[in-house]
Amino acid sequence: MPPLVCLASPISLPPLRQTPFPLLLSTARQPIPFGNPNLSYRPSLPVLFSFPGARRGQRNCRRTIPCCSSMPNSSTDQRVLSQAFLSNEKAFWVLKSLIAWNTSSDVASVCLYASWDAKLCLTDRGLEGEDFKIPLEWERCGLPSKVLEKFPHIRDYKAYTVPASVDFRKILKCQLAIASFGDDGKCSDVTGIQLPGVLDDLFAYDGPLGAIFSKRSITLNLWAPTAQVVHALLYKCPSAGDPFECIHLKDQDGVWCAVGPRSWEGCYYVYQISVYHQSTVRVETYTVSDPYARGISSNGSRTLLVDLNSEDLKPSGWDDLAYEKPDLPSFSDISIYELHIRDFSENDQSVDPDFRGGYLAFTCQDSLGINHLKKLSNAGLTHLHLLPCFQFAGVDDDKSQWKHTDDVMMSKLPADSEQQQAIITSIQDEDGYNWGYNPVLWGVPKGSYASNPNGPCRILEFRKMIQALNHIGLRVVLDVVYNHVHASGPLDETSILDKVVPGYYLRRTIEGCIEHSTCMNNTASEHFMVERLIIDDLLNWATAYKVDGFRFDLMGHLMKGTMLRAKAAIENLTKDVDGVEGSKIYLYGEGWDFGEVAKNKRGINASQLNITGNGIGSFNDRLRDAILGGSPFGHPLQQGFVTGLLLQPNEYDHGDKHIVDGMLSTSADHIQVGLAANLRNFVLTSHKGDVMKGCEILTHDGMPVGYALSPTETVNYVSAHDNETLFDIICLKAPVGISVDDRCRINHVATSIVALSQGIPFFHCGDDMLRSKSLDRDSYNSGDWFNRLDFSYQSNNWGVGLPPREKNENNWPLIRPRLADSSFKPQKHHILAAVENFIELLQIRYSSQLFRLQTANDIQERVRFLNTGTSWVQGVIVMSIEDCNVQLDHNYSYIVIIFNACPTEVSVPIPALKRRALQLHPVLLDSADSLVKRSSYESSSGCFKIPQRTTAVFVEECQSDRLYSSTRTV
């Protein structure tokens, strides 16, 4: 870096490192130092990882991952010992007084070694170069229960006691190793040490962090207990130039602090840290942004000193927004529409060109996109879910650096051509597109969506976006990604957390490698300060930006305790004190249980089955898979309830008729549980005629279908940003020979199951417009070309070329003929019909409180399934909702919903519904869909006739003397 120069006067810098005690250097034969070029060990290797879990198409991530070699517990080979010691951290310092290590039974003694300047090395005499050598005592009682609760994956490790006389605060800043010795005094094993346990024990901290503003001063606070020296370098500009001041921070029990004048506001800073980093086995000195940054320069290279309470950063009326929020009587009233910020407006010619693809596009009140959102809001939609919009990697904040494609030229290419994807992928890391699941700094809005990535512009514009959406009746959900970060190690510019406290924030294997099951660099919310950072970040977004909900990416990789404490902290927010009503902020996420956290191997995690009973929602993949067929990781032609299973087979061999019949019947059971909010204890009749609870109906791998304890814990969906769009899935799974009209009807039936279910309905933006990504199963980096939305309803983006090779090539033989067939492509009238159908579904849902029951008891009392048991009419689900006891609806006393997935009209006799005064729902009587208006009910027989691939809703109006009550709260 350039010399440190003060603009006013020279700066006298303290030494970056000071050695507080003499080094004990080896006098034996030439030692084997860390990084010896003669060793075959390489500190890191590029490895291509793939991983399971129903998330963003499960893109593979090529990252530099620390390589861990294995070795026997006992060996005298110095080369093997050196490699193991260099590449592994297999011991765990779990409490101030205890180190856990999986040593062999013949260990006679164990010692802890520490070196301030990372001089530890192995010779033929053992480990040398230490500043401290501390004998440890074996603890016969083993690890205490509180350690086993926090670190269950090391429950069988032996415990060794650290003497109380050790200067823990100083030694933890050193390079550390632990060595075992046999009866002969020879070293038998050596390894590094993982420190999160002892750091939590000694340095857990709940005081101020980040830049704290008062009337006259700014205080910088950085939690970095292993750092040896910390400076703050201050700059006038967001990039280039020398610092005008260098501040030496003081270490106060692991928190480094400095106080400066209020005149620093508007300047930028970075921390310069000297700290031992286990990935390079050296004491490194580097600069890093503040993990608690609330403002940054372009690409996060410097932290902006910004006071979020400044009046200059508040849109007009901002402080009153909490009192102007769209009404939300209950979480059961929520419906969610998932949207990517760039997708929303980049292709919308009605938006100011300077606003397209960014925050300010949502303030253009007469744009095509905003008019579409207004239609949905007026029909009842409550929440807009925004894909990640914190500072992420993968898109340069500087728009002038972006590369672009010639869309006019590409539009002339064949629908099944390979050329479009080749052009897109050639610039995919240099264009303006990425979903954003590459976290760099959690607490700052992404700069590429702002008109200026430097200064406070992104803050003001983000707030304007939230305010504008609230004013058209939509609350806003942020997609938060706390399960991983984009980078680690001391070299990557986007590595933040792992630079500040190396080895603490990221979850590691028992050998010391970083876990990568989530994609890259898994975080460890079981560590106190990681959890605290997550909760502080949520509170920042809730109070500083007044967001209305949070969707947790891979929530199952967070600990259950983290989620519960986050929920409690948010619920404590009040309008009068915090400017927001925390009790109206909804939390939900992906509760998948896989990787190193599966089956509670790292503590009780926030998986689907664990998180229930606490009012936190999780995505219901059971309903999705039953409706569509298979799973995102199965064969793409596997059919489900609406895509033709048994009733209209495709070319895939699902088995003989008996097997397929059972598959269809089982799918109906799963869907019925999902329609009843996926409740664990909801009682229904299965296709075999058995009376069962939702939790007693099992998936193919033996997991309970029903797991929720309240309706707001279930988020029902059939598609999301991950995997193919709903229309594309239908085009793959439905028979090739059916018409585009039929595919559109299948799209509508699938959507209707979600829209009319109990629980929280969730929709992917564009499913209401037959959105296509040209069959791309993972469009996270496929550019605007494959992700385009068209709010003029002219095109659904079908047939814009073969999707990118990386994730789709294996399916090209299936994809190519479909894209080449022009009959697959919907016309404008199809898209308009889909939009109208979706609006009608929302209107029906919000026409009666009976579609939005608030408790499990309400659902058990009122919801029934009538076409069940061994004599069920295949392909048809009949659900009734009866108002009873405390009346909830002053319009309707009884509702019947019939989902007909059959390719033909069906007659469904329901004797129990004879002589009811049922009629087609008023919204459907006025529907633009001529088929649904042909649905009929015969009172004398209780028989319904429903046209092919149609969802019909019948209602019985209330008598005038019925008592009405709908006073409930969240």
What amino acid positions are annotated as catalytic residues? Answer: 553, 590
Decide: 96 and 201 in contact? Cβ < 8 Å: yes
Find residue 227's DSSP bridge partners.
Answer: 275
Tokens for 512? Answer: 């010391």
Q: How far apart are CA 116 and CA 128, in angstroms?
A: 13
Concatenating the DSSP letter of every residue in 632-661 gives: TTS-TT---TTTTTTTS--SS----HHHHH
Whose structure tokens read 């006389």?
Answer: 165
Widest CA span in the chain: 103
Whose structure tokens read 């069988």?
Answer: 156
Q: How far apart are CA 358 and CA 448, in angstroms?
A: 8
Query: Tell me, what DSSP letter sits at residue 211?
Result: E
The CA-to-CA distance between both ends of the chain, in Å, stands at 55
Q: Residue 765: helix, strand or coil by DSSP? A: coil
Measured CA to CA in angstroms, residue 370 lies from 335, 384, 791 at distances of: 18, 12, 9
Among candidates 172, 51, 249, which has minimal Cα distance to 504? 172
Tokens for 142? Answer: 């083993």
Residue 426 phi/psi, 5° resolution?
A: -70, -20
Helix H or strand E segment including 277 = strand 268-277
Decide: 84 and 69 in contact? Cβ < 8 Å: yes
Q: Residue 595: helix, strand or coil by DSSP? A: helix
Decide: 157 and 143 in contact? Cβ < 8 Å: yes
In SS3 terms, 475-523 reads as EEEEEECCCECCCCCCCCCCCCHHHHCCCCCECECCCCCECCCCCCCEE
Q: How far apart are CA 360 and CA 351, in angstroms?
A: 9
CB-CB neighbours of 845 under 10 Å: 23
Amino acid in the structure at residue 672: Q
Query: Tell me, what DSSP letter sits at residue 607?
Result: -
Q: Residue 700: helix, strand or coil by DSSP? A: coil
Helix H or strand E segment including 813 = helix 812-820
Concatenating the DSSP letter of every residue in 305-333 gives: ---TT-GGGS-TTGGGGGGTSPP-S-GGG
Decide: 88 and 177 in contact? Cβ < 8 Å: no
List alpha helices for 258-366, DSSP H.
341-345
In SS3 terms, 857-868 reads as HHHHHHEEECCC
Angle at 165 between CA 164 and CA 167, to 5 degrees: 105
Q: Residue 485: helix, strand or coil by DSSP? A: coil
Measured CA to CA in angstroms, residue 393 lies from 422, 495, 781, 877, 937 at distances of: 22, 10, 12, 45, 57
Amino acid in the structure at residue 201: D
Helix H or strand E segment including 881 = strand 876-882
Tokens for 141? Answer: 């009682």
Task: Characterize the bridge pairing of strands 187-191 and 336-339.
Answer: unpaired
Measured CA to CA in angstroms, residue 143 lies from 146, 150, 806, 877 at distances of: 8, 11, 47, 54
Measured CA to CA in angstroms, residue 134 lies from 124, 187, 226, 666 at distances of: 20, 15, 19, 63
Q: Residue 760: helix, strand or coil by DSSP? A: strand
Decide: 253 and 169 in contact? Cβ < 8 Å: yes
